[in-house]
Structure 1
């Protein structure tokens, strides 16, 4: 069936005996347009079923009032919190947020970067995949002077604005906490070392051992995607050994929660037989029994910083003196009953 032609601003203007520019200002809620005119326009718009053509408007104004956001997975607690804050902050400033998931796959991430560029977003915020090593596909934003901000999972050498947590300090404090409680065989379960967050947490883990003059056992080190299935597979292998670890530092709370469940299933007492530390302060870690010691990343504050930075860059309010802006946010170790 042939699609019915949509009404335009010109049609609305003719119906009301107004100029198209007056109708346009009324639709955009300009302060100098009278409330009576705005009410008349809204009434006709509703009757005619008019839809604002954002694409056409962005072509005319070279502004879409939309920001792109690429995250690994919306199901991850940390990123879900960041997204909520970014969306609310941008909405307050008259911007919409276009949220995309890379599913932690670099090929899909590349497709999304190009799609968002084609959608003419005014800026892009990204938490990269854990295995992204080639960042050149982001050049299309940088070379066209479209603001680009990385947060959390950020490139090491790629020239860009970055906001990240102090992951080294997080790994250091988590491991020192276990060492201070007498643990000497501390397993480390981290994500791929291609990602800055897992690399830095691991470096903190090593530094804590060095401070205590304890050599970490290479057989207690694991680096893989931090899913529940992988956590159970690794946990079963670790805890079945003749000399199992006396503690585990897991680099996300999903892993820590899965390990706690398995330890209880095989009759281990946590923290008596096995101490456990997670990462991210997922709300589940506080209500589970025993509650899990974890590292608070303050996702809401990071989201606030990311949104404000992209807005400042778009508004040309933020001009780095040299190079690019690199912001860091502190972490906090949350001590609970699992350690």
Structure 2
């Protein structure tokens, strides 16, 4: 703390009739200081306008009460829900969350890892970029015995604590549902296979086709960043000539909505001419017409798991030894009008 801050602490201590060290301990939530004294100090501090320099304090104590978080993009519905859950859980433990976004850049992700390590965060939670293949930059945390947890986009072939959704089952159930509605030309638009969750969704899609003895048509499968613009470009290819796909299983809801937009321009009716299933259960899929079938990933629950695991590791409530903890959270296929079979009337 600065000399000016120390001077203010002395003023507060004099005003309350306690020692400066007692004021300092109260501000640090020390267990040996009574709740009554902590509250008196808190009120006096607020009145004086004093602010604790948390970073300087952490450098002295080697304890920051901060958990770092790196996400691909904060704007993604799934990630924003996870972030909210993580922050809420950490606050219950009197920990704060420091959030950075990698913008799908492995180079920036590596830089952020080093920044957070230099800031002495007590743990790091990460959802990797689409293109991260070298995970050695994260070794700086494991070598320093600082807890590291990956979630959602987890590394392949890298030993670490991981929490992921059941992406294989999500894709398998979605594709199987479309097949059960009579669809046979099911287009699949997914993200780069360098990312673990998209390779698992592709595997689920393939196995559902095999179950119904439908041959894989590679001309119906596309891999790229799942943006609205990319989806429309892919639709231009898939609808360039007949026969058109009779269904789409897309690996996110942004792509599903873009497919619906393109189909509307072609005067194709959903679900009569084209059935549609997305992924993530973004709130937008419930307000478009018809509402879009999607896979619920339960992002809030995944965030809670990630926060609780990192805190268990920080507080050494969990001692995995040489093994690593791996959790798979469930999914649920939410069937809506976009994929329903038409009922026959007399």
TM-score by length of 1: 0.94
Shift of residue 104, structure 1, vs aligned partner? 1.1
- 1:302 paired with 2:302, answer yes
Structure 1, unpaired ranges of 5+: none
Match in the other structure for 1:199: 199
Shift of residue 55, structure 1, vs aligned partner? 1.8
Residues 179 and 46 from structure 1, CA distance in 2 versus in 1: closer, same or farther, beyond 3 angstroms?
closer
Match in the other structure for 2:276: 276
CA distance in 2 between counterparts of 1:15 and 1:191 reads 57
Pairwise mapping of residues 1-339 of structure 1 onto structure 2 (< 5 A)?
A: 7-13=4-10, 16-17=13-14, 18-30=18-30, 33=33, 37-38=37-38, 41-42=41-42, 45-46=45-46, 48-320=48-320, 322-339=322-339
Conserved? CA contact 1:67–1:121, under 8 Å: yes
CA distance in 2 between counterparts of 1:107 and 1:47 reads 45
Structure 2 residue matching 1:288: 3-state secondary structure: coil
Conserved? CA contact 1:12–1:41, under 8 Å: no
Conserved? CA contact 2:8–2:50, under 8 Å: no
Residues 43 and 327 from structure 1, CA distance in 2 versus in 1: closer, same or farther, beyond 3 angstroms?
closer
Task: Name the stretch that deviates more: 243-252 or 313-322.
Answer: 313-322
Conserved? CA contact 1:6–1:50, under 8 Å: no
Alpha-carbon deviations, 1:254-306, whole Å to 9, x = none? Answer: 00011111111220001111111100000111121000001111111111100
Aligned residues: 335
CA distance in 1 between counterparts of 2:155 and 2:42 reads 47
Residues 11 and 231 from structure 1, CA distance in 2 versus in 1: closer, same or farther, beyond 3 angstroms?
same
CA distance in 1 between counterparts of 2:13 and 2:135 reads 52
Alpha-carbon deviations, 1:200-247, whole Å to 9, x = none? Answer: 000000001111111121111100000000011111221222221111
Conserved? CA contact 2:86–2:304, under 8 Å: yes
Conserved? CA contact 1:185–1:216, under 8 Å: no
CA distance in 1 between counterparts of 2:246 and 2:322 reads 47
Task: Name the stretch that deviates more: 48-57 or 196-205.
Answer: 48-57
CA distance in 2 between counterparts of 1:190 and 1:241 reads 21
Residues 184 and 123 from structure 1, CA distance in 2 versus in 1: closer, same or farther, beyond 3 angstroms?
same
CA distance in 2 between counterparts of 1:79 and 1:148 reads 18
Provide the alpha-carbon RMSD of the alignment: 1.7
TM-score by length of 2: 0.92
Alpha-carbon deviations, 1:160-219, whole Å to 9, x = none? Answer: 000001111111111111111111111110000000110000000000111111112111
CA distance in 2 between counterparts of 1:37 and 1:338 reads 60
CA distance in 1 between counterparts of 2:25 and 2:69 reads 29
CA distance in 2 between counterparts of 1:39 and 1:333 reads 49
Shift of residue 11, structure 1, vs aligned partner? 4.2
CA distance in 2 between counterparts of 1:6 and 1:177 reads 68
Shift of residue 20, structure 1, vs aligned partner? 2.5
CA distance in 1 between counterparts of 2:234 and 2:253 reads 15
Residues 40 and 321 from structure 1, CA distance in 2 versus in 1: closer, same or farther, beyond 3 angstroms?
closer
Structure 2, unpaired ranges of 5+: 340-346
